Structure 1
């Protein structure tokens, strides 16, 4: 299950890259926790191809959960993760609440960080533990809410970011994209 979801996300991230580039410099959308822009409806009734853009502190609601990026910071160390030469860690504290109605599998890699305009200017969270870091894989029970940190290793000169969650269903259907833009 984890590998299938990760492979689907990698494919979906490539598709979302063009959308991320087209959103650069967009203003915040009103009602970000309920409004999806540009979505179409598939034959089975699921939305696809839409996006929501928010900012730090705002709650965004997906088909499976709501989330907010509560704070962000730049640091050299978080838990047992340390930035390498020429890089820094960007740490986002994220609150996630299951709104789906049943337990759902979650992964820290559900949240991808874009840090530039290039096709490969994104990264997944570092594999680290401690200091309140989000588990790599966990289950979120119905109505359960967690707050945890997610650390990303990025080039030290990067200063403008977009955290992305892309809806990917078990059958690999790609839904909508949810972005939180910030500078740090």
Structure 2
């Protein structure tokens, strides 16, 4: 549809052809750039946004709600894991008569790995690692240089045993720690 200019008389409101200089009804002079000139816009088909605005808003709100629920659930699970980690964890290594108690002590943002022999003068901290909980079953540990390593943590149903993989204190694929609290 072609754009058509049409004029409206500023005095009486009569619609006039686009080339009119005077109103045919009341005789008022029509100025070229003055009031009374309207441009008729072609009718446009509604775009995708106009057609689907309500559906798009509902879909965006649903996605935002799902993301929010995911973030909240993950934060709660991460908080619960942090509480469980901050309990005392140990394992016993060695041979008959020469046992060593290995202890993992989690604090707010550090893991202390120490060995306890039964003789205080021989007890020693082997390593201290920075860590952060990233989900309900994963932590990031800074062990070597500047690279954070992802460690999976699985707790038994009764929360008395913990499987860590890969192992924190050896080159094994996993290690099992028990709760000493």
TM-score normalized by the length of structure 2: 0.24
Which has the larger helix fraction?
A: 2
The two structures have a TM-score, normalised by structure 1, of 0.24
Higher-Rg structure is 2
The structure with higher relative contact order (CA 8 Å, sep 6+) is: 1
